[in-house]
């Protein structure tokens, strides 16, 4: 349906413009042109109607098939596959590497309490990414201390649990003889909880609840664990940060964030699995083994999986030849290989993916377009999601960007993305994906035809692009992308992301008429080469996202004003290569994000009523106050003219949704009189105010900034006693940078 609608819009757009002539000949031409278009429009409407009806028929057919196969599976009694995590529960402790010290350290924290709380019920939650060894660590702790308790149980919950079965497992583990037939008993959750509480009321117990996915499940489970003041202990494991916090609601409870293995322990575990006892790694394999371990990133499951593939299966215990090691190294990141161990790792990691709601599944899969070890800017990712239609507001009034931020937080909470740089407000400015998870995402993305990754490997060359909707051209490509792409065979392509400049390919992009995302960030289009002609973008009528950050493009064509759907225009970090933004930009009524770096913004910027984030050099101050949706503003400002400065302050006071504000004075922009009249919005969280004021402005006080967490302000004079006292009253301030002529920077 989407393809049909987009194609219809392309067909209906007028190709020409009125030249203003009024002679009879031109009027006749216009009349004939309109008549022709009416006929064409009718034909196109008939065609789109047929295509939508066909899409509806296919959707109904697929729904019927899905329902039928689900019924067939139930009739055949298809059971669950064996959970590969059982291997961790029954693993011999002598096989483990680097766990002894951590096990003993956590046991000491769990069991050694002060006199006041030693007999109280205490909980420890181990949280971390799938495959880090949470279950293995919990089982090692359990085995070492279980003899100190009257009753013990180790039970896994997993996704979509049957809570009655979980309670029955706990009872059976606590007393196998008494509850030998508990599984056949017909009891509801309330009866089973009462039975557990009765059994545990006079016993010192140790219970491990492994792999919790749902906070509601834990709320029900914990009802059975009353504090009998006998020094009982409960341990939980989970991949989700919010669940670990729910498990540890008391001040004496402990949350342990699972960490990857150190380099030395990773090497020990890897070599122990591959080489016979007493032998060492051959010199010719040291480099490739180091590269393999780097990709495994200290995740025990990944290390064991790769080592199991490389381990010799023969009687002679011969080490596999180097070319096989090189093959394995090259395959990591290209989808999971064959073999039981690899499939086990795939299943364990995929649990986290399948537990996500549908909208987060798509957002997580989108990360497959980025190369290995790539550090992803939060703002870039969210804007790409928005352009792709992966972030959609419901009935709530939350904006698209704020909703995208909540998606980032949820994926981080589930340990599916790793924050890299965290700002002073606690938000991740950048993030990355673990190589093993990226491997899974690339595999799923290919299986579901979500995105096509072209990086010059044999696998990427063999992929059929005829149904591709997203293409990612990555840095490792060794040949021109045009050899791999036939633009005419991909009329439905929605997204092109380049991580390496390919001028020939860029010039063919105009063929993709329904393209929504064109991200060329980091591609050198202007420095040390001929300028790239970007006028072809006028044909990309559906474009929502145009990323030209760090491309050194020298000129933005005036034709950009034709992109009526454009939401993001990113021109940052191009130095001074783009001195002026074309005036046609003010025609982009749907534009939400405009980063022009220090380029001069055009007159009429107030027309862009949808703008939420803006960066640039401001000239037009009168219309500036009309941008009432602005949340983020980064301005280069020349305040030499006092009357203009007054108008600017008045306009700034109208922006009541502002959360991040940066103003960098250019020339002599200092004016205490003008700035003292500004009343900041209480929503402000981030304020950088450089070379704009002589002394600390009067509006800096606790009532003006209840949420301000980061502040940098440069002034000519700093009054040590008065100013520091004022700044000390800001309730949410985490970072302060204040500069004056007589004093150097002060950082708190």
* Whether residue 387 is found in the same domain as residue 277: no
CATH number at 187 reads: 3.40.50.300
**pLDDT class for 631, splitting at 50, 70, 90?**
very high
So what's the pLDDT on residue 332? 67
User: What is each CA distance from 523 to 329, 474, 536, in whole angstroms?
Assistant: 27, 11, 17
Number of residues written out for the chain? 748
pLDDT tens-place string over residues 184-203:
888 889 999 999 999 999 99
Q: Which residues on adjacent β-strands are paired with residue 569?
A: 546, 594
User: Of 308, 343, 378, which residue is a domain's last?
Assistant: 343
The pLDDT of residue 582 is above 70: yes
723-748 mean pLDDT: 69
Position 34 in a domain: yes
- Three-class secondary structure assignment of 95-108: HCCCCHHHHHHHHH
pLDDT at 653 over 70: yes
Alpha helices in 396-485 (DSSP H): 400-413, 435-447, 458-462
Residue 66 and residue 95 share a domain: no
Same domain, 161 and 233: yes
Whether pLDDT at 340 is above 50: no
> CA-based angle 577:579:583, to the nearest 5?
130
Q: Tell me which residue of 481, 577, 560, 473 sits closest to 526, measured CA to CA.
A: 577
Q: Please check the confidence at residue 573 and state whether its pLDDT lies above 70.
A: yes
Between 340 and 719, the higher pLDDT residue: 719
Average the pLDDT over each of 113-122, 416-425, 516-525 and give the range with the smallest value. Answer: 113-122
Residue 680 lies in a domain: no
Q: pLDDT confidence of 403, banded at 50, 70, 90?
A: very high
Among residues 106, 115, 148, 142, which one has the least CA distance to residue 254? Answer: 106
> Looking at residue 539, what is its pLDDT?
83
Band (pLDDT 50/70/90 cuts) for residue 2 is: confident
Nearest to 560 by CA among 573, 575, 549, 570: 570
Average pLDDT over residues 593-604: 90
Return the minimum-mean-pLDDT range out of 235-239, 303-307, 516-520, 741-745. 741-745
Q: Quote the domain boundaries for residue 297.
A: 263-343
Q: What is the pLDDT of residues 265-281, one digit of tens each?
A: 888 888 887 887 667 88
Q: Are residues 171 and 187 in the same domain?
A: yes
Give the percent of the chain with pLDDT over 90: 25
The answer to whether the beta carbons of residues 561 and 587 sit under 8 Å apart is: yes
CB neighbours (10 Å) of residue 475? 13
pLDDT digit string, tens, across residues 468-491: 789 888 865 455 555 556 655 677
Decide if pLDDT at 313 tops 60: no
pLDDT value for 195: 92
Task: Write down which residue in 409, 438, 467 finishes a domain.
Answer: 438
Q: From the CB of residue 334, how many other CB atoms can be counted at a distance below 10 Å?
A: 17
Q: Residue 431: is its pLDDT beyond 80?
A: yes
Q: Do 134 and 228 sit in the same domain of this protein?
A: yes
pLDDT score for 499: 85
Interatomic CA distance for residues 144 and 107, integer angstroms? 9
Confidence check: pLDDT of 35 > 60: no
Q: What's the rounded Cα separation, in Å, for the pair 6 and 20?
A: 30
Higher pLDDT, 529 or 714: 714
The whole-model pTM stands at 0.74
- Top pLDDT among 742 and 414 is at 414
Handedness of CA 511, 515, 520, 526 (dihedral sign): positive
Structure tokens at 376: 């992803």
In a domain, 464, yes or no: no
Burial 488-522, CB ≥16 within 10 A → b, else e: eebebbbbbbbbbbbeebbebbebbbbbbbbbbbe
Look at residue 543 and tell me if it is in a domain.
no
Average pLDDT, stretch 498-507?
75
pLDDT tens, position by position, 45-102: 666 777 778 778 888 888 888 777 765 554 444 344 445 454 554 454 445 666 888 8
* Residue 532 pLDDT exceeds 80: no
Distance CA 166, CA 159 (A): 12
Residues 404 and 271 in one domain: no
Domain total in the chain = 4
Question: Domain ends where: 230, 257, 284?
Answer: 257
Res. 259: pLDDT tops 80: yes
**Burial letters for 145-164: b for 16+ Cβ neighbours within 10 Å, e otherwise?**
beeebebbbbbbbbeebebb
> Which of 105-109, 299-303, 372-376, 502-506 has the lowest average pLDDT?
502-506
Q: Looking at the structure, do residues 305 and 360 belong to the same domain, yes or no?
A: no
pLDDT at position 364 over 90? yes
Contacts of 677 (CB under 8 A, 6+ apart): 646, 649, 650
- Top-confidence residue, 394 or 695: 695
Same domain, 66 and 32: yes
Based on the domain organization, do 131 and 271 belong to the same domain?
no
Mean pLDDT within 311-336: 68
* CA atoms of 234 and 466, how far apart (whole Å): 54
Element (H, E) at 137: helix 134-145
Specify whether 208 is located in the same domain as 273. Answer: no
Write down the pLDDT at residue 74. 47
pLDDT at 585: 93
Q: Is 36 within the bounds of a domain?
A: yes
Is 561 part of a structural domain of the chain? no
In this prediction, residues 566-588 reach a mean pLDDT of 86
Work out whether strand 376-377 and strand 205-212 pair parallel, antiparallel, or are unpaired: unpaired
Q: Does some domain include residue 118?
A: yes
Tell me whether residue 117 is in a domain: yes
Same domain, 253 and 140: yes
| Residues 217 and 141 grouped into a single domain | yes
Q: Please give the backbone phi and psi of residue 208, each rounded to the nearest 5 degrees, phi first.
A: -110, 120
Higher pLDDT: 482 or 613? It is 613
Mean pLDDT of the chain: 79
pLDDT tens for each residue of 449-469: 898 888 765 455 444 555 778
What average pLDDT score do residues 15-23 get?
42
For residue 125, what pLDDT band results from cuts at 50, 70 and 90? very high
Cβ-proximal residues to 619 (8 Å cutoff; 6+ apart), any chain: 600, 601, 603
């Amino acid at each position: 349906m989407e393809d049909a609608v987009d194609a219809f819009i392309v067909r209906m757009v007028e190709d020409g413009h009125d030249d203003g002539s009024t002679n009879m000949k031109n009027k006749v031409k216009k009349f004939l042109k309109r008549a022709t278009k009416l006929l064409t429009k009718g034909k196109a409407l008939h065609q789109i109607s047929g295509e939508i009806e066909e899409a509806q028929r296919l959707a109904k057919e697929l729904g019927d098939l899905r329902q039928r196969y689900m019924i067939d599976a139930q009739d055949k009694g298809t059971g669950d596959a064996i959970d590969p995590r059982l291997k961790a529960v029954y693993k011999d402790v002598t096989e483990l590497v680097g766990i002894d010290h951590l096990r003993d350290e956590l046991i000491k924290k769990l069991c050694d309490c002060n006199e006041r709380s030693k007999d109280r019920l205490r909980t420890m939650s181990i949280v971390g990414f799938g495959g880090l060894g949470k279950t293995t660590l919990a089982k090692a702790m359990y085995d070492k201390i279980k003899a100190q308790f009257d009753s013990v149980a180790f039970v896994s919950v997993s996704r979509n649990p049957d809570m009655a079965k979980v309670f029955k497992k706990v009872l059976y583990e606590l007393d196998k003889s008494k509850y030998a037939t508990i599984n056949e008993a017909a009891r509801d959750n309330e009866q089973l909880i009462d039975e557990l509480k009765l059994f545990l009321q006079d016993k010192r117990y140790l219970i491990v609840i492994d792999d919790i996915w749902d906070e509601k499940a834990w709320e029900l489970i914990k009802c059975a664990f009353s504090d009998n003041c006998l020094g009982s202990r409960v341990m939980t494991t989970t991949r989700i940060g919010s669940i670990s916090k729910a498990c540890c609601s008391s001040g004496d409870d402990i949350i342990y964030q699972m960490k990857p293995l150190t380099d030395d322990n990773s090497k020990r575990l890897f070599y122990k699995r591959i080489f016979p006892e007493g032998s060492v790694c051959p010199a010719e394999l040291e480099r490739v083994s180091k590269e393999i371990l780097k990709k495994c990133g200290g995740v025990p499951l990944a290390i064991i999986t790769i080592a199991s593939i490389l381990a010799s299966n023969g009687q002679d215990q011969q080490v596999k030849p180097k070319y096989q090691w090189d093959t394995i190294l090259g395959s990591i990141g290209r989808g999971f290989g064959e073999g039981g161990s690899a499939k086990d790792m795939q299943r364990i990691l995929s649990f986290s993916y399948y537990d996500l709601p549908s909208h987060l599944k798509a957002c997580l899969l989108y990360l497959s377009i980025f190369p290995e070890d790539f550090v992803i800017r939060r703002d870039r990712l969210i804007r790409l999601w928005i352009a792709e239609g992966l972030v959609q507001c419901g009935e709530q009034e939350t904006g698209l960007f704020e909703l995208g931020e909540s998606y980032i937080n949820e994926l981080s909470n589930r340990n599916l993305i790793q924050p890299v740089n965290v700002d002073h407000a606690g938000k991740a400015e950048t993030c990355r994906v673990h190589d093993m998870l990226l491997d899974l995402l690339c595999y799923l993305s290919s299986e579901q035809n979500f995105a096509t990754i072209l990086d010059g490997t044999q696998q990427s060359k063999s992929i059929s692009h005829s149904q591709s909707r997203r293409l990612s051209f990555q840095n490792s490509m060794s040949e021109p992308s045009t050899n791999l792409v036939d633009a005419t065979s991909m009329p439905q392509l929605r997204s092109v992301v380049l991580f390496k400049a390919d001028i020939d390919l860029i010039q063919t992009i105009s063929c993709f008429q329904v393209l929504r995302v064109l991200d060329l960030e980091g591609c050198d289009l202007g420095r040390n080469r001929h300028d790239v002609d970007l006028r072809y973008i006028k044909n990309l009528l559906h474009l929502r996202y145009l990323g030209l950050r760090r491309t050194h493009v020298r000129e933005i064509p005036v034709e950009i004003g034709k992109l009526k759907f454009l939401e993001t225009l990113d021109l940052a970090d191009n130095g001074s290569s783009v001195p002026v933004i074309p005036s046609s930009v003010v025609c982009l009524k749907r534009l939400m994000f405009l980063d022009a770096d220090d380029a001069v913004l055009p007159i009429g910027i107030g027309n862009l009523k949808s703008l939420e984030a803006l960066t640039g050099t401001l000239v037009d101050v009168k219309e500036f106050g009309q941008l009432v949706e602005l949340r983020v503003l980064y301005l280069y400002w020349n305040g030499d003219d006092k009357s203009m400065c007054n108008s600017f302050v008045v306009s700034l006071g109208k922006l009541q949704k502002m959360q991040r504000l940066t103003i960098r004075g250019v020339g002599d922009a200092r004016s205490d009189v003008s700035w003292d009249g500004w009343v900041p919005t209480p929503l402000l969280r981030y304020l950088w105010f450089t070379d704009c004021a002589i002394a600390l402005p009067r509006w800096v006080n606790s009532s003006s900034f209840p949420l301000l967490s980061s502040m940098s302000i440069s002034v000519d004079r700093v009054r040590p006693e008065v100013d520091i006292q004022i700044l000390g009253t800001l309730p949410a301030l985490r970072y302060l940078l204040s500069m004056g002529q007589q004093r150097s920077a002060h950082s708190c």
